[in-house]
Chains A and B, each alone.
Chain A
Amino acid sequence: NAGVTQTPKFQVLKTGQSMTLQCAQDMNHNSMYWYRQDPGMGLRLIYYSASEGTTDKGEVPNGYNVSRLNKREFSLRLESAAPSQTSVYFCASSIQVNYGYTFGSGTRLTVV
């Protein structure tokens, strides 16, 4: 029972490079979320997808795009990475908010 799987676990990018963070869940959850976590800032929502085929901006969407490929997969793309995007990124999923979220293990991204 894998839960929420994120790849890669670590990544170093140069400023201006692009990359896609992958997230997949095997719990048949409807909703999926991307957060970033920075020291002193807590978890901040980047984008979310309430259901397959829909995506919405969270509180810090600038510089990111997302794709809900199917019910299982929700990817986060950085088109032109900036040092301010150095962070730990977490993907999460839920069947319904009343049941809380299940988090993936995270991606530690450094942009130099």
Chain B
Amino acid sequence: QKEVEQNSGPLSVPEGAIASLNCTYSDRVSQSFFWYRQYSGKSPELIMSIYSNGDKEDGRFTAQLNKASQYVSLLIRDSQPSDSATYLCAVGYITQGGSEKLVFGKGTKLTVNP
């Protein structure tokens, strides 16, 4: 059973601070990693993908991957109240039958306080 673990939170940060979200995964051979943002009552929205060890930056978002430690993180700089949402970590893997699937963590709820 492939597992993706996230701290459920809630994580509360003041406006303008850096929010740090973490995720660990069980399958060593996974090659693709994603962060989704889900606003209350809405569907998940892809915000970041990362495939290689190191950092990947996109605007105020930075994804970090360490395959040796099986660890993925998302940093949100200059956090805004509009960033308040649940963040889902997802890890891709290939089944024995050759199908490709994502396994999702349960999500971390982030609240940014004005």
Contact = CB atoms under 8 A, between A and B. Distances in A.
Interface of A: 31, 33, 40-43, 45, 48, 50, 56, 90, 94, 96-106
Contacts of B49: 98-100
Give the interface size bracket for B toward A.
20 to 34
B25 interface: no
Interface of B: 8, 31-32, 34, 36, 42-46, 49, 51, 88, 90, 92, 94, 97-102, 104-107
B105 A42 contact: yes
A100 B102 contact: yes
B46 A101 contact: yes
Contacts of A99: 49
B104 A97 contact: no
A31 B100 contact: yes
A97 B46 CA distance: 13
Contacts of A103: 43-45
